[in-house]
Amino acid sequence: MRDRLTVARDLLAESGSIFVQIGDENVHRVRALLDEVFGSENAIATIPFKKTSALGGKTIDVVFDFLLFYAKDLEKVKYRRQLMDTGFDTYAYPNVETGIGEWRRLSSEEREQFKSEMGRLFRTDNLTSQSGGDKTNFTISIEGKSLRPSSGAFWKTNEKGMSVLAKAGRLRPVGNTLTYIRYQDDFAARALTAWWDDTIQSTFAASSIYVVQTYTKVVQRCLLMTTDPGDLVLDPTCGSGTTAYVAEQWGRRWITIDTSRVALAMARARIMGARYPFYLLADSREGQEKEAEITRSAPSSQPVYGNIRHGFVYERVPHITLKSIANNAEIDVIWEQWQAKLEPLRENLNAALKKTWQEWEIPREADAKWPDAAKKMHADWWQARISRQQEMDKSIASKAEFEYLYDKPYESKKIVRVAGPFTVESLSPHRVLGVDEDDELIDTLKDDSAEYGAKQSFPQMILENLKTAGVQQAHKEDRITFTGLTPWPGELVCAEGRYLEGQTEKRSAIFIGSEFGTVQRADLVAAAREAGDAGFDVLIACAFNYEAHATEFSRLGRIPVLKARLNADLHMAEDLKTTNKANLFVIFGEPDITLLPDPDGKLRVKVNGVDVFDPSTGEVRSDSADGIACWFIDTDYNEESFFVRHAYFLGANDPYSALKTTLKAEINAEAWATLHSDTSRSFERPKSGRIAVKVINHLGDEVMKVFKI
């Protein structure tokens, strides 16, 4: 494990972080190892998180795991503070504002069962400080009272700031003491700490799909507090693909690794089958308009390029302080605008009722004995008074300091997003060896189990299932059903299979690739040569994965070469008793592809169909493009990984209707027309000198063809 951690440390960017999930029984040993590799000075936190409810064991139940959080360099680490909702703190904020000009103290019952519709929680705070000077030691008149700070104390702001606080409705005399009104929603958040007791996953809400699946909430927090959109996330233990799934949702690039193709298949299905929210990009016109709306400012005129590295437009929680209100020049402007309407109403109301009420003296409710005209003026005055306060509160929130809610970007409901282009590659041709807790290789030859020597070998298991399942092509009628399958003592050919071609029996050589490796073109050439020398009629290669150039090889002399892709279920041979064997071995025919040069020097690709081997005649026939579900182009193939740069969708059925049903959204017909095509859009000639075309049929099988340009 030390070597793997060292590699992880070297791969990290200077501002990068690493999280290691560990059970309580190993936390001290692993923490010591991380201290050794990363340095104890770069240890950030040990985070316990709740993983399950009580299990009912014989002794005390352990219901949490640990996350060990380390940085490559603590001085440079990237950290985005995560905020939690504080809820209703009725003890720190014991008063409630039920309306403009209406306050009262909460009863003991209301404290225990407070609801937002009851009003706005607040408390009165001290408005004086022990430090200051002449500019903060003055008399202020409010609600008919003249108040000064107590002896030896000073106001927390100057006369201008106090005037703004008064206009904003934030000053309240309590006896002979002037206090500051602080609402709980002035900063209704608290920072996330290193104790996560809200991560338990309900069995009914989201059951695990993999035995070691990490809870989505835990992974999400790790990503959001240490990365930004466009950053790269590496998970060397893929499992069900939770990290990749979360990274895809939140706009992070990701790499995930696993030794099990079953795990990778599950992860790929999970990622590709999901719908993701489309978050507003800061570097977009819609994002600029949303930002202007939030901050009450003019939209930016900067050009936009849709660069995700600029981040999303996030919701934010205002951090309203006395200072931010006192320095808000917009309050005076709002006050003056509304006074032009409020003052005439107050004067007319006083004249109608023969009163001399100041603003703070106007009662909240009209007297039933008042004339109708006075009631109307009273209602109009209070409506304007409420509107003025609402506009001031909006200004206070928009002009105050704020903190981003990195888990709450604004979402565009008009767009449905699916997974971006990615590829699944197998780069290691070697068998995976197990290691023990000390990172020492496990020597299976020393296995003293009596069953070890009797265990079925990988080729034996493949041949047994091949005899039962046969080999399926795209159409049911093209299945190769063996009448006999016997071992063959060849170097690469390990069995002889017999099947009927019409009324004639044919012999096929069976070549089985490595259980954990990738079949190379040279392997197929050697196996086909051996099959030809032994008089076989056809070579059937069986493997989990084929090297890219192997897809170009379909015949050696008179010997057709059929490449059957093994189903990932065959990795779980002992469990195949309950597995559908219909598609354990599938041959996907050679795609018929034409390169079309354009007059301007660019290229286009046309998919004509798929060439399929007919076992009843021994001939290769051409099927139309209806047998293709989708096809992709890497317009600059580097011979290492296939990157989807063009994607197209075909099929005999109506994929347009199916796509609308799956996404539960309307699809742009013009945009779809460019994707539902057997001919690609034009593209520049590849710098690498190669393009690759990957074709997938309706069974989910794929084949790739590489062209040299």
- What pLDDT, on the 0 to 100 scale, is given for residue 673? 75
pLDDT digits (tens, 9 = 90+) for 482-513: 888 999 988 999 999 998 887 889 999 999 98
- What pLDDT, on the 0 to 100 scale, is given for residue 203? 44
Give the C-alpha separation, 186 to 504, whole Å: 86
Which residue is associated with the tokens 């047994």?
A: 464
Residue 245 scores a pLDDT above 90: yes
Q: Residue 491's CB: how many other CB atoms inside 10 A? A: 8
Are 497 and 508 contacting, i.e. CB atoms less than 8 angstroms apart? yes
Name, in order, each residue with C-beta under 8 angstroms of 438's C-beta and a sequence gap of 6 or more.
none
Q: Look at 52-66, 124-138, 262-276 and tell me which has the smallest mean pLDDT.
A: 52-66
Give the C-alpha separation, 482 to 566, whole Å: 17
Comparison of pLDDT for 261 and 112, the residue scoring more: 112
Are 499 and 480 contacting, i.e. CB atoms less than 8 angstroms apart? yes
Superfamily the domain 197-274 falls into:
Vaccinia Virus protein VP39 (3.40.50.150)
- What's the pLDDT band for 205 if we cut at 50, 70, 90? very low
**Mean pLDDT across 383-405:** 92
- What's the pLDDT band for 56 if we cut at 50, 70, 90? low
- What's the pLDDT band for 418 if we cut at 50, 70, 90? confident
How far the first Cα of the chain sits from its last, in Å, is 44
**Mean pLDDT across 647-658:** 71
**By three-state DSSP, how is residue 250 classified?**
coil
pLDDT digits (tens, 9 = 90+) for 656-676: 676 666 666 666 777 777 788
- What pLDDT, on the 0 to 100 scale, is given for residue 390? 93
pLDDT digits (tens, 9 = 90+) for 286-318: 999 999 998 888 999 999 999 999 999 999 998
- What pLDDT, on the 0 to 100 scale, is given for residue 207? 47
E strands present in 374-503: 401-409, 484-487, 493-501
The candidate with the shortest Cα–Cα distance to 587, out of 462, 479, 512, 461, is 479
Q: Residue 305's CB: how many other CB atoms inside 10 A? A: 9
Are 620 and 613 contacting, i.e. CB atoms less than 8 angstroms apart? yes
Percentage of the residues of the chain whose pLDDT score is greater than 90: 47
Which residue is associated with the tokens 């290769």?
A: 620
- What pLDDT, on the 0 to 100 scale, is given for residue 474? 57
**Mean pLDDT across 525-529:** 93
**Mean pLDDT across 429-434:** 50
**Mean pLDDT across 32-44:** 94
Q: Which amino acid is at 522?
A: A
Q: What is the bridge-based pairing of β-strands 95-99 and 102-105? A: antiparallel
Of the ranges 374-388, 466-480, 683-697, the best mean pLDDT one? 374-388
Residue 575 scores a pLDDT above 90: no
- What's the pLDDT band for 451 if we cut at 50, 70, 90? very low
Distances (CA, A) of 469 to 222, 477, 482, 540, 665: 45, 14, 9, 14, 40
Q: Look at 30-39, 141-150, 456-465, 651-660 and tell me which has the smallest mean pLDDT.
A: 651-660
pLDDT digits (tens, 9 = 90+) for 70-120: 999 999 999 999 998 888 889 999 999 988 878 899 999 999 989 888 999
Percentage of the residues of the chain whose pLDDT score is greater than 70: 84
- What pLDDT, on the 0 to 100 scale, is given for residue 136? 93
**Mean pLDDT across 396-402:** 89
Give the C-alpha separation, 568 to 262, whole Å: 6
Q: Look at 424-438, 539-553, 680-694 and tell me which has the smallest mean pLDDT.
A: 424-438
CA 326 from chain center: how many Å? 41
pLDDT digits (tens, 9 = 90+) for 347-377: 999 999 999 999 999 999 999 999 999 999 9
- What pLDDT, on the 0 to 100 scale, is given for residue 614? 59
Q: What is the DSSP letter of 600?
A: T
Identify the CATH assignment for 590-708 out of 3.30.70, 2.60.40, 1.20.120, 3.40.50: 2.60.40
Q: Which amino acid is at 500?
A: L
- Alpha helices by DSSP H, listed for 154-204, are 159-167
Edge-to-edge strand list for the sheet holding 603-614? 590-597, 603-614, 619-623
Q: Look at 36-50, 207-221, 323-337, 531-545 and tell me which has the smallest mean pLDDT.
A: 207-221
- What pLDDT, on the 0 to 100 scale, is given for residue 663? 67
CA 402 from chain center: how many Å? 25
Query: What tokens were used for 375?
Result: 């009631």
Comparison of pLDDT for 102 and 390, the residue scoring more: 390
- What's the pLDDT band for 426 if we cut at 50, 70, 90? low
Q: What is the DSSP letter of 435?
A: B
Q: In the predicted model, what is the mean pLDDT of the chain?
A: 84
- What's the pLDDT band for 272 if we cut at 50, 70, 90? confident
Q: Which amino acid is at 319?
A: H
Give the C-alpha separation, 265 to 349, whole Å: 76
- What's the pLDDT band for 429 if we cut at 50, 70, 90? very low
- What's the pLDDT band for 430 if we cut at 50, 70, 90? very low
Identify the CATH assignment for 454-587 out of 3.40.1350, 1.10.8, 3.40.50, 3.30.750: 3.40.1350
E strands present in 490-618: 493-501, 504-512, 538-543, 555-556, 559-566, 585-587, 590-597, 603-614
Give the C-alpha separation, 669 to 656, whole Å: 9
Distances (CA, A) of 209 to 66, 104, 274: 21, 52, 14
**Mean pLDDT across 2-27:** 88
